[in-house]
Structure 1
Amino acid sequence: MILAEHLARIITIFPSLTDISEQDWNQDGIKVIEMVPNYIIEEGHFLEHVVLILDGTVRMYKISTSGREITMYRIQSGECCPLMTSSILGESEYEATACVETAGSVLIIPSVIFREWVDRYRNFRQFIFKSFAQRIVVMSNLLDSVNFKSIRGRISEFLIHMTEKNGNTDTLYITHDSLSVELGTAREVISRTLKGLEKEEIIKLKRGKITITNRGALQRYIEFN
């Protein structure tokens, strides 16, 4: 049973759950648990629960047959994974791998109860469908980037986006290995491209750190690559 203090916090983070009845909240299996860093849900599983993020970060990614990873998107506070919800609604295998990046807490809803709530509660159903729509846009942009942009343009876009997200700082703390995982390409390609950008005096490289020195040049690579 969800305790009152948890419920108030859940409703604040997920207003779409406001209409859920007290009786429905008291069903067995609904609980709040702590996420452990590096915990993984692997692709191909039939899921028994939906996970709604209260705080913390989970990275969603795909692994190729050769073992190479590409980050699809991340889910954070107030979000759920649409691939997870679609898997449960469609009673099909989970089509991605999820890894806890930042510790936090999550609301766990058994799949049977989740399907009942989607059928019964309009606001919650709209929240789930809106999550689908938002991630479709994200995935469309990712496919566009992978298929039509040069690696230089993709790296430039990633650096601009992440430094803006971190408060318009010019420095991003990330390794070449991590960047290759984010963009789904070989580490050697990443390192070669970054060294080329450094020669052009667009960035500066140090171990585990990239500093932008010419943001305008990076922006032009996004626009014309």
Structure 2
Amino acid sequence: MTLADWIEQLPFLNQLTADEKRRLETDAQLVEVPSHTKLFSPGDECGAFLLVIDGSVRVQMVGDNGREIVLYRVESGQTCVLTTACLLSHEAYNAEALTEEKTTAIALPARAFQEFLATSNGFRDLVFASYGQRISSLVLLVEEVAFKRIDVRLAQFIARHKDSNGVVKKTHYDLAVELGSAREVISRQLKEFEKKGWIELHRGKLIVKKPEDLKSFISHHCD
């Protein structure tokens, strides 16, 4: 599909006028990025605003000690709040982003982004609605990391991400990154879950054996 086709079909661009869609077609470009490609790193300048059409981009921070934490993912119909913040403040990125699968997006250069923001009510609403939603989710992330027990957060993650067979295809390291913890802490907690019979650990994955016990544990500590 061409850029013009995507612009006409994407629901989140419906609020743009016909003239604004034509302008977007002229100023933007359609980009396809392979899986596992780094899109930006801390210190990079932001050159374009991205509207993800298909795929997934993981945005994360890496501490001085090498620990990583996933801040959020940008998926179909979404924009990156850090990119928006950098374009608005004219500051460099303070995190990194990588594609988790082949990703297609509309890239709008910084100059055109500023012009659209100043002249298009529909575009401005789209940008700030996405911005507000993402800020709310980041506040919840900070609250979880700062105040919620890691065993409860781990149990919640497992419960949310197990497939229909009870399988979670994540390594201990993957789980540590997702939850902003140390691999050793996650491994120790998983062993505790396994001792209780809630899960079964395998290389690169785990299997939930007692979902009701896991659910009961979560409910008890979240009431």
TM norm structure 1 = 0.89
Deviations 1:46-99 (A, max 9, x none): 111111111110000011111110001101111110111111011111132101
- Greater Cα offset, 8-17 or 128-137: 8-17
* Counterpart contact for 2:197–2:210, Cα < 8 Å: yes
Could you tell me how far 1:133 is from its partner in structure 2? 1.4
Moved more, 195-204 or 86-95: 86-95
- Closer/same/farther in 2, CA of residues 17 and 189 from structure 1, 3 Å limit: same
Counterparts of 1:21 and 1:134, CA distance in 2:
24
Aligned to 2:22: 22
Are 2:42 and 1:43 aligned? yes
Q: Secondary structure at the match of 2:55?
A: strand
Q: How many angstroms apart in 1 are the aligned matches of 2:42 and 2:199?
A: 36
Aligned to 1:220: 216
Q: Report how far residue 217 of structure 1 moved.
A: 2.6
Aligned residues: 217
Report sequence identity in percent.
Answer: 31
1:11 maps onto 2:22 in alignment? no
Given the superposition, is the C-alpha separation of residues 96 and 45 from structure 1 closer, same or farther in structure 2, using an over 3 Å criterion? same
* Structure 2 equivalent of residue 162 of structure 1: 161
Matched with 2:169 is 173
| Corresponding residue SS for 1:80 | coil
Match of 2:81 in 1: 82
Kept in 1, the 8 Å contact 2:7–2:25? The answer is: no
CA distance in 2, matches of 1:16, 1:94: 30
Pairwise CA RMSD: 1.8
In the superposition, relative to structure 1, how do residues 93 and 201 fare at CA in structure 2: closer, same or farther (>3 Å)? same
Greater mean deviation of Cα atoms: 210-219 or 55-64: 210-219
Please tell me whether residue 193 in structure 1 is matched to residue 189 in structure 2. yes
Consecutive aligned runs of 4 or more in structure 1 exceeding 4 Å deviation:
none
Q: Contact 1:205/1:211 (CA < 8 Å) preserved in 2? A: yes
| TM-score normalised per structure 2 | 0.90
Structure 2 gap segments, 5+ residues each: none
Q: CA deviation at 1:22?
A: 2.2
| C-alpha separation in 2, matches of 1:17 and 1:98 | 28
Aligned partner of 2:131 in structure 1 is 132
CA-to-partner distance for each residue in 1:21-45, whole Å, 9 max, x for gaps?
A: 5245323xx2111112222110221
Instruction: Specify the code of the residue in structure 1 equivalent to 2:194.
Output: E
In 1, distance between residues paired with 2:58 and 2:72? 6
Alpha-carbon distance change, 57 to 26 in structure 1, aligned in 2, over 3 angstroms:
same
Superposed displacement of residue 18, structure 1: 3.1
